[in-house]
Amino acid sequence: MRADLSVEELQALVRTVPDFPKPGIQFRDITTLIGHADGFASSVRHLAVLAKKAGAQKIAGMEARGFIFGAAVAVELGVGFVPIRKPGKLPVATIGVEYDLEYGTDRLEMDPQAVAEGERVMIVDDLIATGGTALAAAQLLRMAGASVDSAAFVIDLPDLSGAQKLREAGVDVSVLMHFDGD
């Protein structure tokens, strides 16, 4: 049996890399958290508790780090996982949505048959920053007929307001830890 770590202990496992990907950014690196067996397992269990409370029937995660946490949470709960992919990665007909980035746009796609009409799907990802990707995922899942009213993240960067934007879009946001600054 693995040790259950507190959120404070988990936060201590997240490495901060200064000036990445550009000067002035404090990058929150979760590879040190997922590389720690008890830390990763505890993170997944904490997220699974949030998903269970929200009544999630499926978990959705965005490529790429959302796959790590989302799929593990789905396994922990015994529910299905919905991959939200970058364009051209799925071998079936997809639906997609474009969203704004700081410089330009990007696109997310999914198999519209991955969710049933009205199915309660929780979005799980490693980090919420500006919220653009999570908002696009919520829109995409709703287009497919899912009920998306909750999301959970390991890390929130509250200075970038992404969690607030998701809440304004009708998505309840839960996070394990906060880091101030970029």
Nearest-Å Rg of the Cα atoms of the chain is: 16
The helix/strand/coil state of 69 is helix
- Tell me, yes or no, whether 21 lies in a domain: no
The Cα 29–Cα 70 span in angstroms is: 17
Q: State residue 3's pLDDT score.
A: 80
Question: Is the overall model pTM greater than 0.85, yes or no?
Answer: yes
Q: 130-163: per-residue pLDDT in tens?
A: 999 999 999 999 999 999 999 999 999 999 999 9
Cβ-based neighbours of 142, under 8 Å, separated by 6 or more: 148
Boundaries of domain holding 121: 55-178
The pLDDT-based confidence of 1 (bands split at 50, 70, 90) is low
Residue 129 falls inside a structural domain: yes
In a domain, 153, yes or no: yes
DSSP 158: G
**Once rounded to an integer, what is the mean pLDDT over residues 115-119?**
98
Is residue 116 situated within a structural domain?
A: yes
How many domains does the structure of the chain reveal? Answer: 1
The CATH number of the domain holding residue 155 is: 3.40.50.2020
- pLDDT value, residue 149: 97
